[in-house]
Structure 1
Amino acid sequence: MSFIITLTGILFVTQLVSHFFNRWGIPDVIGQILVGIVAGPAVLGWIHQTAMIEEFQEIGVIVLMFIAGLESDLSLLKKYLKPAMAVAVGGMALPIVVMGLASQLFGLQWFESLFIGVIFSATSVSISVAVLREFNQIDSKEGATVLGAAVADDIGGVLILSVLISLMNGKGGESSTSLPLIIMMQAIFFGGTYLLVRWLAPYLMHLSKRMLTTAAPAVMAMILCLGMASLADLVHLSGAVGAFFAGIAVANTKARHDIAEAFEPLGYAVFIPVFFVNVGLVMRLNHFLDSLVFIVVMTILACLTKLIGSGGGAMLMGFDRQSGYVIGSGMIARGEMALITAQIGYEAHLLSSKYYSDVITVVVLATVLAPFILKHALKRLHHPVTY
């Protein structure tokens, strides 16, 4: 019963905080993380991690990644393939290299430094979409390129994360399976994923519509989500990776919108808030002042690497400087994808507890700054400064 009381408190407070954060134009996920920090061991010590919270947050990650896959519009990526790929590659490569090297200068081991670079290669386009919608730029060439690049960014980030987890297992992590066997199992998994996207998911979703059971399509989608998460875990990948590709598979069926309407209330009503609160519960502020230089430097680099990498990729594809500024700033927000990557890496021992809190703080700061930078870029696009 104590967990139910804790869960009730988490849901009530996160709803309240999210309401005010949305009203102030700040991403609500940041408010939910702050709830975990304030109520958790870092400040008040009212809530601590328990086995049930761990289970709920794990389901939260899986559902959130499924929704991310569900929202990945592959047709948009195909339409703007060349500029989107250039923006995505530039916006992933520069953070991995620059932030990885910067981490090493701060004394981190090379593998941990590489993983920090991977965390900041992620993009959370949902925050940028809200700003683009405010300026009626969703259907513009800049807005469409940002959306297409975000799809490529998500897929690329998931694949890189998969490789890192495999390498960690191969270096003597929790797995005793040989690296060649792990790679072969994962190759079979990704081959099966293609079959799922191309044939199996459309057939199963069509079959579910003919079943005489309550919410059959949503239940079938949940089976695909959890089933792929389980298979991914079986081949030494994160369950979130499998859920992401299950979401992409369902997104390519006619049931896409119905499933999105079913999953979003389910995820955001219970599991996803627990995930973000848990991110705050893991954080510790004991050494915040000692880490201040690291946090400030990495926050600046988090913004600049996306701005220059993605913006430069756009300019290479023929966009002018103002449009490149809009596209680069549209890719700065890290949000959910970076938080998920950090959490998965922390659990897979790719990131030590010593730096976990600092990295989360940088993700939060970059995410807060992103909409302000994008608004500035959009205003300059419509009212260019002349010299």
Structure 2
Amino acid sequence: MHHATPLISTIVGGLVLAFILGALANRLKLPPLIGYLCAGIVVGPHTPGYTADQALAPELAELGVILLMFGVGLHFSLKDLMAVKKIAIPGAVVQIAIATVLGMGVAWGFGWEWGPGLVYGLALSVASTVVLLKALQERNLVESPQGRIAVGWLIVEDLAMVLTLVLLPALAGLLAPAGEAGSGGAAASSGDILLTVLSTLGKVAAFVAVMLVIGRRFIPWMLERIVWTGSRELFRLAVLATALGVAFGAYSLFGVSFALGAFFAGMVLAESEFSHRAAEESLPLRDAFAVLFFVSVGMLFNPMVLITDPWGVLATLFIIVVGKSVAALCIVRAFGHSTRTGMTIAVSLAQIGEFSFILAGLGVYLKILPERGQALILAGALLSIVLNPLLFYMLDRYTAKQEGEGEGDPQPA
């Protein structure tokens, strides 16, 4: 029995390489996320040497998605969002719309139909939670006015992407190019599509109702009983079972995605008095599977796209770093905030990450997004995450200069 199975070799190879390259990235003052993605590239099929199992990696990544979304739900704060709702909600919606339109324009230049262009643009419109929070924490900006706006803005983006992930399978027949997924949108009548969307929303509504009526009472009650046992091990297992069990139950009973189920499990748990402990106890396992998720994403990336499709990569990067950031800056300034606050929000959002990967993967699976689109999104994510610390360095210098000149930050009424 002492032999390396594909499961063991995939997990060990992915985690060990992720640790080595993540530590190297951290040493170079880059987000460790870059190292995890590069580890996936190294063990992927597009580079020589050892290749991880191509069937097991996506399944491990699915566990990573569940735990990532559970973490997003755990940290979801309606109170934080309401505190900055006047700018975060309209700002995020308008910025998503602008980035999506820019993406659709570039996709039109590629010769794609509007459906693939819509998915491509949406994937470029949402920033990485991991990268944004790390950058704000390093500068002690999370509790600052601009930090609160950035976090609230990110919450709205995350909610928009959760809704997109729910509706995308229902709209696949309309969005898929002709010749894909059956005969594409032409084969599906508007009535069939409307019926599918209503059915999907009905299942989601039923799941949400169950979680709000039963889940928000049962889950805290269960955790309270586990706390009384005094067993830290059982509490940690209870949190993990809640995340995975609700995600799987949502999929099996309501046809809802694992991601949405895990998000609501985290959101319901966030309301209980044990939320902070649950977040702390589940963090190691969430981090481990999140690493495997990013490794599996890196396995999909072909570095040759940087050589074979440079203009596509540059156009993608331009939307992420310039188009989206300029839109955010203009929106923040239009609401009466200072240029410094606007630039902080703009730089914070000048990257993409985990939701973009999930959306791109789903788009390819549903035969809406071409594989070229996924390759460009992955390239744009890698490059934008690498550039983000440089942008923050430039912002720090600008902030220091403005503080020397005594600029204030008037807040609108």
User: Fold match, TM over 0.5?
Assistant: yes
CA–CA separation in structure 2 for the residues paired with 1:318 and 1:135: 24
CA–CA separation in structure 2 for the residues paired with 1:96 and 1:200: 40
The equivalent residue for 1:255 is: 274
Pairing partner for 1:283 from 293, 297, 301: 301
| Native 8 Å contact 2:91 2:331 kept in 1 | yes
CA displacement at 1:286 relative to structure 2: 5.0
The equivalent residue for 1:314 is: 332
| Native 8 Å contact 2:10 2:52 kept in 1 | no
The equivalent residue for 2:264 is: 245
The equivalent residue for 2:188 is: none
Report the more deviating stretch, 151-160 or 84-93: 84-93
CA displacement at 1:192 relative to structure 2: 3.2
The one-character-per-residue Cα deviations of 1:166-188 (angstroms, maximum 9, x if unpaired) are 211677959x9961433322232
1:149 aligned onto 2:149: no
The one-character-per-residue Cα deviations of 1:28-80 (angstroms, maximum 9, x if unpaired) are 12211112212221111511434333322211111112112222233211222
1:348 aligned onto 2:348: no
| Native 8 Å contact 2:320 2:351 kept in 1 | no
Amino acid corresponding to residue 259 of structure 1 in structure 2: A
Rate the CA distance shift 1:77–1:183 in 2: closer, same or farther, 3 A: closer
Report the more deviating stretch, 216-225 or 39-48: 216-225
1:56 aligned onto 2:75: no
Equivalent runs, 1:13-32 vs 2, <5 Å: 13-32=17-36
CA displacement at 1:9 relative to structure 2: 2.3
CA–CA separation in structure 1 for the residues paired with 2:396 and 2:95: 19
CA–CA separation in structure 2 for the residues paired with 1:87 and 1:221: 34
The one-character-per-residue Cα deviations of 1:317-369 (angstroms, maximum 9, x if unpaired) are 22022221111211222222322332333333332223322221111112222
| Native 8 Å contact 1:197 1:248 kept in 2 | no
CA–CA separation in structure 2 for the residues paired with 1:82 and 1:171: 32
CA–CA separation in structure 1 for the residues paired with 2:298 and 2:106: 25
CA–CA separation in structure 1 for the residues paired with 2:29 and 2:304: 29
1:365 aligned onto 2:383: yes
Q: Structure 1: state its 5+ residue gaps.
A: none
Amino acid corresponding to residue 268 of structure 1 in structure 2: D
CA–CA separation in structure 1 for the residues paired with 2:108 and 2:210: 38
Equivalent runs, 1:165-204 vs 2, <5 Å: 165-168=169-172, 179=196, 180-195=198-213, 198-204=216-222
| Native 8 Å contact 1:198 1:249 kept in 2 | yes
Amino acid corresponding to residue 106 of structure 1 in structure 2: F
CA displacement at 1:214 relative to structure 2: 5.8
1:65 aligned onto 2:59: no
The equivalent residue for 1:329 is: 347
Rate the CA distance shift 1:215–1:345 in 2: closer, same or farther, 3 A: farther
CA–CA separation in structure 1 for the residues paired with 2:219 and 2:99: 35
| Native 8 Å contact 2:45 2:51 kept in 1 | yes
TM-score using structure 2 length: 0.84
Instruction: Provide the alpha-carbon RMSD of the alignment.
Output: 2.7
Report the more deviating stretch, 25-34 or 48-57: 48-57
CA–CA separation in structure 2 for the residues paired with 1:86 and 1:71: 21
The equivalent residue for 1:267 is: 286
Amino acid corresponding to residue 286 of structure 2 in structure 1: G
Rate the CA distance shift 1:129–1:284 in 2: closer, same or farther, 3 A: closer
CA displacement at 1:306 relative to structure 2: 2.4
CA–CA separation in structure 2 for the residues paired with 1:86 and 1:156: 12
| Native 8 Å contact 2:329 2:343 kept in 1 | yes
The equivalent residue for 1:223 is: 241
The equivalent residue for 1:121 is: 125
Identity of aligned residues (%): 25
Pairing partner for 1:298 from 316, 331, 334: 316
TM-score using structure 1 length: 0.89
CA–CA separation in structure 1 for the residues paired with 2:370 and 2:24: 33
The equivalent residue for 2:5 is: 2
The one-character-per-residue Cα deviations of 1:74-121 (angstroms, maximum 9, x if unpaired) are 321122221222332233221111112211221122111101111112
CA–CA separation in structure 2 for the residues paired with 1:193 and 1:333: 33
Amino acid corresponding to residue 60 of structure 1 in structure 2: G
CA–CA separation in structure 1 for the residues paired with 2:10 and 2:327: 43
CA displacement at 1:159 relative to structure 2: 1.0
Q: Structure 2: state its 5+ residue gaps.
A: 183-191, 406-413
CA–CA separation in structure 1 for the residues paired with 2:258 and 2:174: 18
The equivalent residue for 2:189 is: none
Amino acid corresponding to residue 18 of structure 2 in structure 1: T
| Native 8 Å contact 2:21 2:38 kept in 1 | no
CA–CA separation in structure 2 for the residues paired with 1:310 and 1:286: 32
How many residues align? The count is 385
Amino acid corresponding to residue 284 of structure 1 in structure 2: N
The equivalent residue for 1:134 is: 138
Report the more deviating stretch, 201-210 or 152-161: 201-210
| Native 8 Å contact 1:87 1:309 kept in 2 | no
CA–CA separation in structure 1 for the residues paired with 2:380 and 2:292: 21
Q: Which has the larger Rg?
A: 2
